[in-house]
Amino acid sequence: MAKANESATVDKVDNSIGKLPAESSVLVVGAGGIGCELLKSLALCRFRSIGVIDLDTIEVSNLNRQFLFRREHVGQPKATVACDSIRRLCPSINIEPFHGDVITDPQFDISFYKRYDLVINALDNVQARQHVNRMCLLCSKPLIDSGSTGYNGQATLILKGRTQCYDCIEKPKQQRTYAVCTIRNTPSQPIHCIVWAKFLYNQLFGDNDDPNNEDVTPDADDPENGTTNGQEPVNTTAENGHHRISTRDWIQAEMEEFQPVRIFNKLFFDDINYLTTMKNLWEKRRQPIPIQYEQARQIQENTLNGQSDHEQSATPKLNDQRIQSINEYVQMFIESLNELKQRCDKQRQAASSSKEPAFLVWDKNDDADLRFVTASANLRAYIFGINLTSKFDVKSMAGNIIPAVATTNAIVAGITVLQARKVLATLPRSSNDHTLTSIKQLTNVFISTDRKTGAIIQSIQLEEPNPSCIQCSDLEQPVRVRLNMSLFTLHSLYERLIRKHLKMNKPDVIIADGSGRILVSADDDEDEEMMLKTLDQFKLINGTILLCEEEYDDETNEALLQHMKIKLMLEHTDTITDKNEYIIVDDQVIGEIKQIKQSLKRKYLEDDDDDDDNIQHLDDYQNELNIVKKTKKLSTSHDEHNNGPMHTSFVMLVDDQASA
């Protein structure tokens, strides 16, 4: 009886709040570490309509923390497999996968986001988060941004006009995690070699009992070393007899005798030879070239990968900023190896009579530590044909490596679902209204292991929007322009669209992505070669927002400086094949087009009742847009008592031939 009353009470409470999970639709962007935990928690909390976007496919290194995936799923899209796993957990759920790039895929436009009541970010990169932030601001959808770095995490709320958006505060330098199979087998960037070198440091001098210390030995279980569909990997015991020898196990005995040359040859010759036996890895990649110690000592070049002598000597550099030759890195490796071995022996002796740890901990500010990682990383980079990195840059890059922790992801996901329940409780039951009734009970939630800040899980009051934020300070919709990024040039954008069409004189054009990058400066002379480049060559993508801003003197008062700002949102489409064509798809413009169409229909009916072809022609949406050729006038309204930016509106003119 008590349980029945309790259940009735719960039902009564649920019915008194806003939207219920079962009535709501949620879009989850990202199906990785946090995303897997999040989808599971959403399903168990009775969310019944979920969309999932993810671009990536499953790798072996994902399996230790992304529990919706299994070995047989390697190589398959994360979004698809995650949704299949959730359906097995909850057969009644309506969950739909979208395998694509949330930034560049044209299907993820504003109308797509409007299908959902709430959007949740579970992303691991800044650019994608900024894009989703912009899209949610444009369609006034609540956004929960979740994330984790090591043992810290957060679930923050972004509510248009009422809280800070993702771009309201400056972001720290991005910190990333990397797939272990890439680090061990197929590095392609300097950072991959630096991560490998840090793993190697821990293998040689660190805590070998720590399960997070990855083995640096090549791994035949790499998914690309097999066929497909989870079959067994290709046999890597080559005809020349190369076998895999685990560095973790080998080093225990080797460090007792300690022969630096043997260690060098094991890492840069034996292991690389073993890697070359994995033929599938090198079908579309440059195969690494193993080098022995005596051979490496003779290599005096540092130009293997296009780093010319001219680039090296163009400007004076400090020693730490100079790319050294391979034989110098060999010497640096041996010297730092000897120094660290002596230090490690002393540390172990001290640990035998004290509570000191019996191992070394890598410190980017320690010169021997840094020299070892710099030398190891560059020797490996040379072998794989990757650009070498200065000691100065290694210090900067190596200090930003933070591991992904499964427990943190689970905590963040649980908090994010609670945040989602709170947001939905403030939404009206009407499916067409997404205005939050009250945000008094809402907070941001942070997870921190820094006890100085208080509890590990903390609720922080919501911050008001930053008035200087480019993304959310102006709450008006930007002008949406549809064009083909691969055909439309910067010259056409600036001269035809911005200056001729929008009637701006000579504005600065700034990419509103938080970087402050200026695309066109009004103060500089135009570079003809640059102006002829297409927009995609400037890495402008679907959803990019441009801020066009100019200053001019008021004609009636030369001392009064006026500001004019227009936001442009660029939308890519492959359907436009003319390099000079573009379409304005602003909501107000669409309304104008509909009015024009109705008036033209009436005109055609009055002139010729039998001319059905003309009416059918106007019913085609693409042809509706084609009747709008140019802007007749860009009117401005300015409050005499308001010194803020002017507001713009469009008056459309029908093509003379279409209305004749």
Query: For the purposes of burial, counting CB atoms within 10 Å of the CB of 283, is it exposed (0-12), middle (13-18) or buried (19 or more)?
Result: exposed
Q: Judge whether 404 and 65 are in contact, CB under 8 Å.
A: yes
Please tell me whether 597 is known to bind a ligand.
no
Q: Is 455 in the same domain as 489?
A: no
Which residues are bridge partners to 445 per DSSP? 155, 459
- DSSP reduced 3-state for 49: strand
Q: Is 369 in the same domain as 516?
A: no
Residue 374 has pLDDT above 50, yes or no: yes
Please tell me whether 371 is known to bind a ligand.
no
- CATH number of the domain encompassing residue 448: 3.40.50.720
Q: Is 151 in the same domain as 14?
A: yes
Question: Which two tokens mark 220?
Answer: 């035949």
Tell me how many domains the chain contains. 3
- DSSP reduced 3-state for 575: coil
Of 35-39, 180-184, 391-395, 618-622, the poorest mean pLDDT is in 618-622
pLDDT in tens, 144-156: 999 998 788 999 9
Please tell me whether 136 is known to bind a ligand.
no
Highest mean pLDDT of the ranges 288-297, 423-432, 634-643: 288-297
pLDDT reported for residue 616: 43
pLDDT reported for residue 373: 94
Q: Is 341 in the same domain as 453?
A: no
Q: Is 156 in the same domain as 204?
A: no
pLDDT reported for residue 645: 35
Residue 582 has pLDDT above 80, yes or no: yes
Pick the more confident residue, 166 or 603: 166
Q: Judge whether 570 and 624 are in contact, CB under 8 Å.
A: no
Q: Is 352 in the same domain as 497?
A: no
Residue 650 covered by a domain = no
pLDDT reported for residue 456: 87
Of 551-555, 561-565, 577-581, the poorest mean pLDDT is in 551-555
Please tell me whether 421 is known to bind a ligand.
no
Please tell me whether 377 is known to bind a ligand.
no
Q: Is 16 in the same domain as 43?
A: yes
> What is the average pLDDT across 377-393?
92
Question: Which two tokens mark 83?
Answer: 């949704």
- Nearest residue to 197 (alpha-carbon basis) of 344, 398, 341: 398
Question: Which two tokens mark 407?
Answer: 């427990």
Residue 546 covered by a domain = yes
Pick the more confident residue, 10 or 64: 64
Please tell me whether 168 is known to bind a ligand.
yes
pLDDT reported for residue 379: 95
| Dihedral pair phi/psi, residue 142, rounded to 5° | -65, 140
Q: Judge whether 273 and 286 are in contact, CB under 8 Å.
A: no
Pick the more confident residue, 316 or 412: 412
Please tell me whether 129 is known to bind a ligand.
yes
Residue 140 has pLDDT above 60, yes or no: yes
Please tell me whether 280 is known to bind a ligand.
no
Please tell me whether 127 is known to bind a ligand.
yes
Q: How far apart are CA 537 and CA 371, in angstroms?
A: 38
Q: How far apart are CA 460 and CA 457, in angstroms?
A: 10
Helix (H), strand (E), coil (C) string for 593-616: HHHHHHHHHHHHHHHCCCCHHHHH
Residue 181 is among the residues annotated as catalytic for this protein: yes
Q: Is 447 in the same domain as 583?
A: no
DSSP 526: P
Please tell me whether 78 is known to bind a ligand.
yes
Residue 626 covered by a domain = no
DSSP 493: I
Q: How far apart are CA 27 and CA 425, in angstroms?
A: 17
Question: Which two tokens mark 419?
Answer: 């945040």
Question: Which two tokens mark 103?
Answer: 């930034």
Please tell me whether 516 is known to bind a ligand.
no
Please tell me whether 165 is known to bind a ligand.
yes
| Dihedral pair phi/psi, residue 509, rounded to 5° | -120, 115
pLDDT in tens, 455-466: 789 899 998 888
Please tell me whether 409 is known to bind a ligand.
no
pLDDT reported for residue 401: 55
Which residues are bridge partners to 147 per DSSP? 154
Q: How far apart are CA 72 and CA 540, in angstroms?
A: 37
Strands 152-158, 143-149: parallel, antiparallel or unpaired by DSSP? antiparallel
Pick the more confident residue, 314 or 10: 314
Q: How far apart are CA 91 and CA 355, in angstroms?
A: 54
Name residue, tokens 């400037």: 538
Q: Judge whether 194 and 373 are in contact, CB under 8 Å.
A: yes
Question: Which two tokens mark 90?
Answer: 């909850």
Query: b/e string for 580-600 if b means 16 or more Cβ within 10 A?
Result: eebbbbbeebbebbeebbeeb
Got the DSSP string for 429-489? S-TT----S--TT-EEEEE---GGGSSSEEEEEPPPPPTT-TTTSS-SPPEEEEE-TTT-B
Q: Judge whether 134 and 567 are in contact, CB under 8 Å.
A: no
Question: Which two tokens mark 193?
Answer: 């070699």
Instruction: State the angle between helix axes of 391-398 and 367-384 in degrees (0 to 180), rounded to the nearest 10.
Output: 100
pLDDT reported for residue 474: 58
Pick the more confident residue, 129 or 217: 129
Please tell me whether 139 is known to bind a ligand.
no
Q: Is 366 in the same domain as 449?
A: no
H-helix or E-strand spanning residue 618: helix 612-619
pLDDT reported for residue 659: 33
pLDDT in tens, 622-641: 343 443 333 322 323 333 33
Please tell me whether 63 is known to bind a ligand.
yes
Residue 380 covered by a domain = yes
pLDDT in tens, 466-511: 887 767 775 455 788 889 989 999 999 998 888 888 777 788 888 8
pLDDT in tens, 496-553: 888 888 777 788 888 887 667 888 888 777 778 888 999 988 888 888 888 888 765 4
Residue 52 covered by a domain = yes
pLDDT in tens, 389-400: 998 888 878 866
Of 43-47, 134-138, 177-181, 652-656, the poorest mean pLDDT is in 652-656
Q: What mean pLDDT, rounded, does the chain reach?
A: 76
- CATH number of the domain encompassing residue 385: 1.10.10.520
Got the DSSP string for 137-164? HHTT--EEEEEEETTEEEEEEE-TTTS-
Residue 51 has pLDDT above 50, yes or no: yes
Residue 637 covered by a domain = no
Pick the more confident residue, 44 or 18: 44
Query: b/e string for 417-431 if b means 16 or more Cβ within 10 A?
Result: bebbbbbbbbbeeee
Choose, from 36, 139, 181, 193, the residue flagged as catalytic. 181
Q: Judge whether 373 and 388 are in contact, CB under 8 Å.
A: no
Between the alpha carbon of residue 262 and those of residues 200, 269, 294, 543, the distances in Å are 15, 10, 11, 54
pLDDT in tens, 589-613: 445 545 555 555 555 555 554 444 4
pLDDT in tens, 317-351: 567 778 999 999 999 999 999 999 999 888 888 88
Q: Is 11 in the same domain as 155?
A: yes
Please tell me whether 62 is known to bind a ligand.
yes
Pick the more confident residue, 521 or 429: 521
pLDDT reported for residue 647: 34
Q: How far apart are CA 594 and CA 600, in angstroms?
A: 10
H-helix or E-strand spanning residue 552: strand 545-554
Could you tell me the residue range of the domain that residue 213 belongs to?
Answer: 180-222+247-300+319-399
Residue 611 covered by a domain = no
Q: Is 454 in the same domain as 491?
A: no
Taking residue 251's Cβ as centre, other Cβ atoms within 10 Å add up to 19
Please tell me whether 54 is known to bind a ligand.
yes
Please tell me whether 30 is known to bind a ligand.
yes
Residue 466 covered by a domain = no
Q: How far apart are CA 329 and CA 461, in angstroms?
A: 51
- CATH number of the domain encompassing residue 486: 3.10.290.20
Q: How far apart are CA 534 and CA 254, in angstroms?
A: 57
- Nearest residue to 246 (alpha-carbon basis) of 221, 222, 228, 271: 271
pLDDT reported for residue 392: 83
Q: Is 49 in the same domain as 151?
A: yes
